[in-house]
Amino acid sequence: MSKTTRGSFDKSQLIGRFLGKKTEPSQATTEAAGLRKADHPNIPEAYCRFDRHPGYEKILVPKLAAERFGVANPFFKSHEGVADATTTIGGRSFINFASYNYLGLSGHPAVNQAALAAIERYGTSASASRIVAGERPIQRELEQALAENYGVEDCIVFVSGHATNVSTIGYLFGPKDLVIHDSLIHNSVLEGIKLAGSARRNFPHNDHQALDAILSEIRGQFERVLIVVEGHYSMDGDVPDLPELIDIKRRHKAFLMVDEAHSLGVLGQTGKGIHEQHGVEGRDVDIWMGTLSKTLAGCGGYIAGERALVEHLKYAAPGFVYSVGISPPLAAASLEALRIMQREPERVTQLQERARQFLELARSKGIDTGYSQGFSVVPAILGSSLKATRLSNQLFEQGINAQPIIHPAVEERAARLRFFVSATHTNQQLQETIEKLARMA
């Protein structure tokens, strides 16, 4: 590689060094080998090679830049046991802030036993789509329990949280509709809007006045309008004003969808979510979405709401109709986790206390925690992807596992470390972490 000014690099040189110089076979070589010449000689080789795909080349640039600056890759570490407040990586124990095990229920003996019992009874897979091959009682038990949690008529469980948003939005809405969302909404919502082909608008984060103004101006141009927010923002750790959103959606004759992926088990006195946090009825929100992989210790996603919504999705949404049903042991694990959450609300109380303590400690040390309200997600905003990655590696050397969030997942100026607090973290672990973070930042 030719010399460059420190801190700069040439994209083509980096990619070329990583891939190595590759030459295409000459016509003479091709003929000597008895191979046919290409039927389409004018099509560039890059169009039929994955190592020349522009998306792959885009991934290589920051990867190779980090290599050039001697920064180790902090991603895809292998955990050798249950990832809770602590985890084991490479045979070494770490204080862990990189998992969504908010109430410590993944790995809980009763949750494990529920999954094992389901395996004994049903096996490890549903083996087909539920509309094709029928149901397992445990699948419906989970859906009914989730519907009860929200005080709504019914619920449907998908096998992937991300696919839940994609399939639901992509199926229910179309080109004559508008989906308007918070500017910090999750990627799965954006992908669902693409699939729907709907018009898309965003409003500034948690700026409900801006949302109201936009709808006042353009609501009449569309048939259906969907407002989408998160109950607890996974990058920033803050929550929206749900009563205000309900008022807005009613006045503008819109649907309201709330993504509860990071708020079930986290918000409300007993963990029921943002509707309990704000003291509103579950039926006041049209579409409740959530995931099973966080508080509920499983894998998958769900939509809860009125029966017409759920039945429509069960019989027609491609992501449900043409997908295998949720694995029985995963359904059993999530159902048991939900039951434990309901009968042990002290777990929710402890999580909220630990997260609030972590936020207060961070702020007392001058750490920029952005919008966080201290429910379970606390960012440390550093303003540089390189700095965030380096600091993550330095903390890892000190026995703390916290992942960096870097561009393009967030804007470069918003690059950060993100800390997921669990009910099982100790006061000592939180204090030790903040002390080391403040010293190194």
Check whether 5 has a pLDDT greater than 50.
no
Check whether 10 has a pLDDT greater than 60.
no
* H-helix or E-strand spanning residue 89: strand 86-89
Q: Answer whether 214's CB lies under 8 Å from 244's CB.
A: no
Rounded mean pLDDT of the chain? 92
Q: pLDDT, tens digit, for every residue of 175-201?
A: 999 999 999 999 999 999 999 999 999
Average pLDDT over residues 38-45: 85
Average pLDDT over residues 218-234: 98
Cα atoms found within 13 Å of the Cα of residue 61, Cβ hemisphere only: 13
Check whether 214 has a pLDDT greater than 90.
yes
User: Which residues make beta-bridge pairs with 180?
Assistant: 201, 227
Check whether 435 has a pLDDT greater than 60.
yes
* Beta-sheet pairing, 301-305 with 287-291: antiparallel
Beta strands in 273-345 (DSSP E): 287-291, 301-305
Tokens 């669902």 belong to residue: 192
Q: Amino acid identity, residue 55?
A: G
Check whether 27 has a pLDDT greater than 60.
no
Q: How far apart are CA 99 and CA 101, in angstroms?
A: 6
Range in 23-32, 115-124, 135-144, 425-434 with the lowest mean pLDDT? 23-32
pLDDT of the residue at 7: 45
Q: pLDDT, tens digit, for every residue of 327-367?
A: 999 999 999 999 999 999 999 999 999 999 999 999 999 99
Tokens 């993100």 belong to residue: 418
Q: Answer whether 204's CB lies under 8 Å from 328's CB.
A: no
pLDDT of the residue at 74: 86
pLDDT of the residue at 31: 58
In the structure encoding, which two tokens stand for residue 21, read together?
Answer: 């110089």
Q: How confident is the model at residue 92 (pLDDT cuts 50, 70, 90)?
A: very high
Check whether 64 has a pLDDT greater than 60.
yes
In the structure encoding, which two tokens stand for residue 332, read together?
Answer: 């059993």
In the chain, % of residues over pLDDT 70: 91
* H-helix or E-strand spanning residue 30: helix 27-32
Domains and CATH numbers, the chain: 11-68 (no CATH), 86-100+345-440 (3.90.1150.10), 109-343 (3.40.640.10)
| Prediction pTM value | 0.90
* Cis amide linkage into residue 41, ω under 30° from 0: no
Q: pLDDT, tens digit, for every residue of 373-430?
A: 999 999 999 999 999 999 999 999 999 999 999 988 889 999 999 999 999 999 999 9
Average pLDDT over residues 247-265: 98
User: Which residues make beta-bridge pairs with 258?
Assistant: 229, 288
How many other CB atoms are there within 10 angstroms of residue 86's CB atom? 18
Q: pLDDT, tens digit, for every residue of 268-304?
A: 999 999 999 999 999 999 999 999 999 999 999 999 9
pLDDT of the residue at 361: 98
Check whether 61 has a pLDDT greater than 90.
no
Q: How far apart are CA 51 and CA 164, in angstroms?
A: 31
Measured between alpha carbons, how far is residue 302 from residues 30, 153, 287, 310, 395 in Å?
55, 14, 10, 10, 35
In the chain, % of residues over pLDDT 90: 81
pLDDT of the residue at 244: 98
